[in-house]
Structure 1
Amino acid sequence: MTQPNDPRPEPTSDPTPEQLPGSSETAQPTQSIPQPSQSAGAPTQYSYPTEGTTSGLGGAAGIPPSTLGAGAAEGVSFSDDAAPRTSRRRTGLIAGGLVAALALGGGIAFGVSKLSGGGAQPADVIPGDALAYVRLDIDPSAGQKIAAVRFLSKIPGARDVFSSDDMRQKLWEQVVKESKNACLKKFDFGKDIQPWLGQRAGLGFRPGKTGGEQNMVIALQTSDESTASDTLARLTACSTDSKDKTDIRTRDGYVLLTPKGQGDTTLAALDKGSLASNATFSGDMSALGDQGVASMWFDNAKFAALAQQESGTKQQVPDTLRGRSAFTLRFDPSYIEMAGIGRGLDAVKQVSGSGAELGRLPADTIGAFQLSGGDQLLDGAWPELKKGLDSVAGGGGDVQSMLESELGITLPDDLKVLLGKSFTLSVPDQAFGSQLPTVGLKVTGTNAKRAEEVLTSIEDVSGGALSLDKKADGDRLYASTTPGYAGKLATDGKLADSETFKTALGDTSKMTVGFYLDLDRIEKYYLPDVGPEAHDAVQALRAVGLNVWSTGDGEGSFSLRLVGN
């Protein structure tokens, strides 16, 4: 059943500042990526949060793993496991990354009474010519802070773990111990680092090189530019490598670290315009919405070229990846979400999708996958797929012809028939054991008879390993690994009525790719293997949902949610 509107709970309709200790401000709603039923129009320039208001984040390489946690009743703490990796031999930049990890990985608590999330962002002090950007923020918008408290309160033990004020100090002590650098032992975390350490950090990669080193900059927020610069200078001096030198500069409440020789040129580039003032970047981030506690942005082709240059490899970037991508990690009171957008992907054409068939699965479905508009997608993707098949063969023959001969089919035509307008796999609730599990297939908007023949050909080639119960009905084909389930799939189910399903997937009206897993129904199979320290937290997780949809030619969005009970 198509959901015409995004059914997920509004981040701030449930929690209110009045319900949180010490709160004195009114939080505004947290903006998310426009759902398919909403307008996809984006402002031309992104505005960061200001005092008393919140800005919008809404949601690939991928986002670095981040752990975020709620503090005690008076506040909430966020933690991130690692800072962006920079150069393998630059201790100075690594020191900056370490300090970023301490700021964002160790539990700086912010009181919910300070809900603004205002102030300069790392993008304000990174030059506008950056081709890649990573941001970490433990002082996000007010809506994000409240949503984090609400979500993490559902996870047993989260408050206890992340409310510890000495996590950063423990991290520092562990790094010093493992480094075996006696110089680092001269620094006292409480006296030398904690007093000036801010709540935001960013990393920007820029075009070109200086002195043989890639142009890049780490931006660390600080409350005391002078003290931060002095401390970081002493930290970077701990390196015994004469080639390992770092420039340290300051700008607008941030200390900037670059490889030697890039400090002044970075400031000069910044004087020409910041990344935040770059119209392309700001437009992409506005479309992304509220940037939450972590966000990333890439000029895909330029960053891929940089990565290949650094690794010494040469491989053409596929046309389908040329463009830009942006990602975020954010909270809702009901889930934590990784979300992202792609823009300027000129080789990608809009696909008309719908998650209706996913919602029509039986209510006892524990896991499902749907590809909508697969026949359209294959038209554009087949040339690249064929190249992939030929590369697997290593020049040993025409793989397409071999498959056509073996299966008695025509590619890509028969594959399009099998995918149809909607291709859905589902697994019902069942007693898993030694017997063959029940898995179902539903294909709609296709030549069902021909699709059935293609499946039969695949069965024949399997040599009896695959035997399906099949039912063709008009433009629909149903199949299952065990008798009876195919017939059940032919009857409209009520999965879309489930609150768990709706929360995990949101608006599915334009879904092209969807995945759903009901953790509550299958936890009995994996919880016994979870250790006691994590058992209750894992048990508190309810479902996983992935929703990918097309927003126009060259544009698309995705949302990956982990739902709590």
Structure 2
Amino acid sequence: MTEQHPGATPEPSTDPAPQPPQAATTPSYRYPTAAGPTAGGPTAGAQGVGFGDDTAPAAGSRRRPAFIAAGVAAALVVGGAGAFAASQLSGGGAQPADVLPGDAFAYVRLDVDPSAAQKVSAVRFLGKLPQVRDTLGSGDPRQKVWEAITADAKSDCVSRFSYSGDIEPWLGDRVGLAVRPGGTTGKPNVAVAVQVSDEGKAQDVLTRLLACDGADETDLRLRDGYAIVTPKGQGDATLAAVDRGRLAADPEFSDDMSALGEQGVASAWFDTAPAAKELESSRGSGRSTSDLGGLGDLGGLGNGSAMMSGLSGLAGAKGAASGRVAVAMRFDPSYVEVAGITRGVTAIPGYTPAPGDGTQLANLPDDTLAAVHVSGAGDALKAAWPQIEKMIDGSGDGADRLAAVEQQLGVTLPDDAQVLLGRSLTVSVPDQQLGDGVPSIGAKIVSTDANRADQLVETLERTAGAPGTLTREVDGDTLYLGTTPDYVGALKSGGRLGDSDAFTAAMGDTSKATAAVYVDLDRLEKQYLPQVPDEQRAAVESLRAVGITASVQDAGSGSFSLRVVGN
């Protein structure tokens, strides 16, 4: 495998499995019509769709050429969806993880050429969003972003680059970013891999573009159809790390991404253990997360300080320093979804949550506007109580205050809290015109002692100075309560919310959901639709429902999803 350095003449790759050469000029993007594919396959209608000017990022302060160069990569996904509904449906070829080092502890991938099924699903979903459909125009979306990125560039050097002549002939469909151990002060050890269709042209243009501001802050290397940009002095070391092992071949990474399934237009992976070690090393050497802001200097893929602070929060979370998270944004003809999995993450040491029981959510009345469901919160609180007590004991007179609360309310903690939170807690709001009198809100608590839970609610009402505010009824192991008697009766009678098309699309299978949130946007929109400007009303009306679910498979493993459903 031959490594290409800036200024060197490109040489053929000697890798045992080289990527097939691509055409020097990338075809102009054309998209299927908003009506979606026909029975004969996706259509590339005479009128394609591209990005309107109002979808481009607003111009800000002057961007450095380094930002612009890597910012070209961000062009691959601006607009979130329309870009990857391209006419070619291959979705094949090397992914950024194939050319990034296996020692990375964080990885983000953006792809405008995902699988054929994803492109078809995206076209069909976007057809449900008229405002998006109507504001997309014809042409290459990457050109729109290039123009937006360079619009406020003051450098004459940058202005001499044209998209059609300099960028389009080599810019590919994918970009990936990896964060690795060994960052130095002011520069985290990152590598940005931009897919290119012509390595020679990419090297020439990127080398000149990165040099526009006269600074020498980055290394540029070429490998297997990708341009790899790193902080200065890290280029050769990064490729050496790739030779030792690629991220795509890392067993944990590959297993996690396989379990994640369809990776859609964007995906990410994060391993907290090496991240925590790196952050601790940074603290020990005097480096701080703010010192690592050089990540942003690689341009267009996020602010370095913000990202490193986020990683710090994840890695430093109690019990999270040994787990991994994988996330993808993908499409279905009915919805767009951000879905993820966790592996080896234990929020409460020694405690494994039991599978949830989302049937309590699915059995809500048919006219439910919004609902929140949590399973096992009582058991989780009791399991975490020793840690909570340590925190309270370490806060001065915290323990005495807790004892005073127990005495005042006549409760025993954490046992009574466990009873009140129950095996499951479901709060719901029926369809209604909010703002007209007392709103109807209700809840049902499935508890090990529903009668005791009833007493505890009465105690809390009395302590709050509002006795009798809620209607309460105990039926077997369930406590029903609500702001109106009628709604308590409706909760007891139940319904078939789980059978509705909107619920099914937004929530999927909730039978084992540990936590879930559901909002029927069609029912909710009457609360605010009259105040929505006419030009935005169609977009509001095109959204049907939102659903969030989280489930536990086994010790340390789980899954989660956020879906937005279109009409």
Alignment partner for residue 196 of structure 2, among 209, 222, 229?
Answer: 222
**1:242-271 deviations in Å (ceiling 9; x for gaps):** 4x5110001111100000000000000001
**Partner Cα distance (2:496, 2:446) in 1:** 18
> What is the identity percentage for the equivalent residue pairs of Structure 1 and Structure 2?
49
Alignment partner for residue 379 of structure 2, among 376, 380, 383?
Answer: 376
Alignment partner for residue 140 of structure 1, among 114, 122, 126?
Answer: 114
Is the alpha carbon distance of 1:407 and 1:118 closer, same or farther for their aligned partners in structure 2, counting shifts above 3 Å?
A: same
Aligned residue for 1:558, secondary structure, equals strand
Alignment partner for residue 75 of structure 2, among 73, 79, 102?
Answer: 102
**Partner Cα distance (1:506, 1:306) in 2:** 38
Is the alpha carbon distance of 1:99 and 1:447 closer, same or farther for their aligned partners in structure 2, counting shifts above 3 Å?
A: same
Matched AA of 1:337: E
Is the alpha carbon distance of 1:429 and 1:411 closer, same or farther for their aligned partners in structure 2, counting shifts above 3 Å?
A: same
CA contact (8 A) 2:514 2:550 kept: yes
- Structure 1 residue 228 displacement after superposition: 1.0
Alignment partner for residue 560 of structure 1, among 543, 556, 562?
Answer: 562
CA contact (8 A) 1:210 1:261 kept: no
Is the alpha carbon distance of 1:409 and 1:539 closer, same or farther for their aligned partners in structure 2, counting shifts above 3 Å?
A: same
**Partner Cα distance (1:431, 1:463) in 2:** 27
**Partner Cα distance (2:138, 2:396) in 1:** 58
- Structure 1 residue 191 displacement after superposition: 1.4
**1:182-237 deviations in Å (ceiling 9; x for gaps):** 33222222211122111100000011135763211000011111111111111111
Aligned residue for 2:552, secondary structure, equals strand
- Structure 1 residue 305 displacement after superposition: 5.3
Alignment partner for residue 176 of structure 2, among 198, 202, 208?
Answer: 202
- Correspondence 1:475-490 to 2 at 5 A: 475-490=477-492
**Partner Cα distance (1:112, 1:170) in 2:** 15
2:99 paired residue number: 125
- Structure 1 residue 307 displacement after superposition: 5.7
Matched AA of 1:255: A
**Partner Cα distance (2:559, 2:46) in 1:** 35
User: Which one scores higher on RCO, CA 8 angstroms, separation ≥ 6?
Assistant: 1
Q: Which moved more, 1:149-158 or 1:482-491?
A: 482-491
- Structure 1 residue 20 displacement after superposition: 3.8
- Correspondence 1:82-101 to 2 at 5 A: 91=64, 93-101=66-74
Q: Which moved more, 1:425-434 or 1:526-535?
A: 526-535
1:292 paired residue number: 264
Q: If you compute each CA radius of gyration, which structure gives the higher value, 1 or 2?
A: 2
CA contact (8 A) 2:52 2:135 kept: no
- Correspondence 1:263-278 to 2 at 5 A: 263-278=235-250
1:447 maps to 2:449: yes
Structure 2 unmatched runs, 5+: 1-34, 283-287, 291-308
1:311 paired residue number: 289
Matched AA of 1:18: A
Aligned residue for 2:75, secondary structure, equals helix
Matched AA of 1:265: A
- C-alpha RMSD over aligned residues: 3.0
**Partner Cα distance (1:427, 1:111) in 2:** 38
1:397 paired residue number: 398
**Partner Cα distance (1:559, 1:472) in 2:** 33
1:173 maps to 2:186: no
Is the alpha carbon distance of 1:96 and 1:535 closer, same or farther for their aligned partners in structure 2, counting shifts above 3 Å?
A: same
Aligned residue for 2:509, secondary structure, equals coil
Is the alpha carbon distance of 1:371 and 1:325 closer, same or farther for their aligned partners in structure 2, counting shifts above 3 Å?
A: same
CA contact (8 A) 2:76 2:111 kept: no
Is the alpha carbon distance of 1:179 and 1:530 closer, same or farther for their aligned partners in structure 2, counting shifts above 3 Å?
A: farther
1:256 paired residue number: 228
Is the alpha carbon distance of 1:166 and 1:90 closer, same or farther for their aligned partners in structure 2, counting shifts above 3 Å?
A: closer
- Correspondence 1:336-347 to 2 at 5 A: 336-346=336-346, 347=349
- Structure 1 residue 21 displacement after superposition: 4.4
Aligned residue for 1:431, secondary structure, equals coil
Q: Which moved more, 1:343-352 or 1:394-403?
A: 394-403
**Partner Cα distance (2:317, 2:393) in 1:** 18
**Partner Cα distance (1:101, 1:193) in 2:** 13
- Structure 1 residue 359 displacement after superposition: 1.0
**Count of residue pairs brought into register by the alignment:** 496
1:367 maps to 2:367: no
**Partner Cα distance (1:404, 1:172) in 2:** 62
Q: Which moved more, 1:224-233 or 1:131-140?
A: 224-233
**Partner Cα distance (1:116, 1:419) in 2:** 50
Matched AA of 2:336: I
CA contact (8 A) 1:109 1:163 kept: no
Is the alpha carbon distance of 1:328 and 1:21 closer, same or farther for their aligned partners in structure 2, counting shifts above 3 Å?
A: closer
Aligned residue for 1:103, secondary structure, equals coil
- Structure 1 residue 351 displacement after superposition: 1.8
Aligned residue for 1:501, secondary structure, equals helix
**Partner Cα distance (2:258, 2:178) in 1:** 19
**1:108-159 deviations in Å (ceiling 9; x for gaps):** 8567652220000000010001000000001001110110011111111323
**Partner Cα distance (1:198, 1:113) in 2:** 15
- Structure 1 residue 385 displacement after superposition: 4.7
Matched AA of 2:328: T
**1:522-541 deviations in Å (ceiling 9; x for gaps):** 11112233333332122111
**Partner Cα distance (2:56, 2:453) in 1:** 48
- Structure 1 residue 277 displacement after superposition: 0.4
Aligned residue for 1:157, secondary structure, equals helix
Is the alpha carbon distance of 1:524 and 1:331 closer, same or farther for their aligned partners in structure 2, counting shifts above 3 Å?
A: same
CA contact (8 A) 2:84 2:111 kept: no
1:506 paired residue number: 508
CA contact (8 A) 1:77 1:110 kept: no
CA contact (8 A) 1:134 1:295 kept: yes
* TM-score for both structures, normalised by structure 1: 0.81
Q: Which moved more, 1:194-203 or 1:382-391?
A: 382-391
**Partner Cα distance (1:471, 1:73) in 2:** 61
Is the alpha carbon distance of 1:221 and 1:511 closer, same or farther for their aligned partners in structure 2, counting shifts above 3 Å?
A: same
**Partner Cα distance (2:240, 2:38) in 1:** 43
**Partner Cα distance (2:560, 2:51) in 1:** 27
**Partner Cα distance (1:372, 1:248) in 2:** 51
Aligned residue for 1:433, secondary structure, equals coil
**Partner Cα distance (2:441, 2:273) in 1:** 39
- Structure 1 residue 396 displacement after superposition: 4.9
- Structure 1 residue 297 displacement after superposition: 0.3
1:184 paired residue number: 158
* TM-score for both structures, normalised by structure 2: 0.80
Matched AA of 2:253: F
Is the alpha carbon distance of 1:218 and 1:413 closer, same or farther for their aligned partners in structure 2, counting shifts above 3 Å?
A: same
Matched AA of 2:418: K
Matched AA of 2:354: V
**Partner Cα distance (2:548, 2:130) in 1:** 25
2:212 paired residue number: 238
**Partner Cα distance (1:300, 1:177) in 2:** 38
CA contact (8 A) 2:458 2:467 kept: no
**Partner Cα distance (1:507, 1:247) in 2:** 48
**1:58-83 deviations in Å (ceiling 9; x for gaps):** xxxxxxxxxxxxx976678899988x
**Partner Cα distance (1:100, 1:384) in 2:** 45
- Structure 1 residue 504 displacement after superposition: 1.0
